[in-house]
Amino acid sequence: MSTKQINFYESVQRNFDKAAAISRHPKGLLDQIKVCNAVYQMNFPVKIGKDFQVIEAYRVQHSHHRLPTKGGIRFSHLVNQEEVMALAALMTYKCAIVDVPFGGAKGGVKISPRQYTPEELERITRRYTVELIRKNFIGPSLDVPAPDYGTGEREMAWILDTYQTFKGGEIDAAGCVTGKPVNQSGIHGRTEATGRGVFYGLRELCNDPKMMAKVKLDLGIAGKTMVIQGLGNVGSYAGMICQKEGGVRVIGVSEQEGTIISDKDINIEKLVEYRKQKGSILGFPGTKRLEHREDWVKIECDILLPAALESQINKENAKFVKARIIGEAANGPVTADAEAILLKKGVLIMPDMYLNAGGVTVSYFEWLKNLSHRRFGRLEKRFDQNTYSNLLTTMEKMTGKSIGQRERTFLTRGADEVDLVRSGLEETMINSYDQIMDYFNRFKKIEDLRTAAFTCALDKVANDYLTLGVFP
């Protein structure tokens, strides 16, 4: 038996083939969906200090069945073409799962952000954007990037400014990128979106009697134990929201500097602040350090949440997993080989293409906001507030009873933008979960949730291609 580890791209393709074998679509159509439509590999010089450095970067558009294409840009020294192609493919299926009308795309810049000053990162980001503009790989109707590993609001603001510089007068220019700061045409609730989507997805799973019976756990997310690998944007928000709104107990956290565990509940909000001050999660009060950082996979828990990079659970360490549920908060954290091992062990895996789709869902809302040129809630908030107030006043007159000011304020509150964003995200995650479970329960050949999600996504993309036809 070969000991070779399959890479991320091979895992995605293997999962595709597994779902394709179940679908009834023509082979030629499946072949079209499987391949990446456009791959742009670039090398550009940037002045770093007193010298010039050639930067390797990519932008991949996987599917043009719907436009624009959509996908984040990651800054990492591990970036390569196959990784970006895999991520772009996942974006296609992810958008289809949550009914967001985009094709999949992804970008990557092969650098380690920690090795550069903010000024140098700005030069790299702006030059990368220029390269995308030159080849028509960015635009509100063409291709809309977003943050990913190693990037955030700051980088998206640089991209927007660069695009507007070259596309002066374009009325919808703000829609060329999402994940921007709120004061730069961003949207409230975007930063937390992926983590909040993870919470909604896990909550739906834990409220499903059939699924909980499979892993012999009580119904509901409250009280369940969780281990988080990766305390970046996704892992931190997922942990905080799961704790505050779901009553989850986080008993372990792993980061680059090490892994910590606790018999009690590790407060993620306080841990994030501690790490900002100390530069490490190690030494956080009430926790102890594991001897080996990679032993996070061995911690016994209800939910294991890999929220960092791909291929973190592979065929070498899958046998050590003691969790009942793995929630893929990151892209591709479980390899295809590892999944085969875990499924035999009875582990329930909630796939990335659904669970971390909160980011692209709210990015869609931001894009819509940019195209409509108005903030969500601006037109209806006060009308709703006045309507609710009049209704309460009428009830008071009819009953002869008064409602306290505190209760009145709560009941008559109109929805702000963040309320509408969270509501839209929750609705999306619930509906998408129901769609996945429909496939899981309806098709006897489907034995796991990833295959169910892939098959559902394939059907949607294939139907789009069949409806559009082939031209000429």
- Contact between 420 and 376 under an 8 Å Cβ cutoff? The reply is yes
**Beta-sheet pairing, 303-306 with 143-147:** unpaired
Q: Look up residue 252 and give its two tokens.
A: 């372990």
- In angstroms, rounded to a whole number, what is the distance separating the alpha carbons of residues 368 and 335? 34
Catalytic residue annotation: 106
Instruction: Kindly report the number of other CB atoms within 10 A of residue 246's CB atom.
Output: 18
Phi, psi of 250 (to 5 degrees): -90, 115
Three-state DSSP state, 249: strand
Q: Look up residue 163 and give its two tokens.
A: 């695009």
Three-state DSSP state, 383: helix
Vertex 87 angle, CA 20 and 84, to 5°: 125
**Greatest pairwise CA separation for the chain in angstroms:** 80
**Beta-sheet pairing, 303-306 with 51-61:** unpaired
Q: Look up residue 195 and give its two tokens.
A: 């983590």
- Contact between 396 and 163 under an 8 Å Cβ cutoff? The reply is no
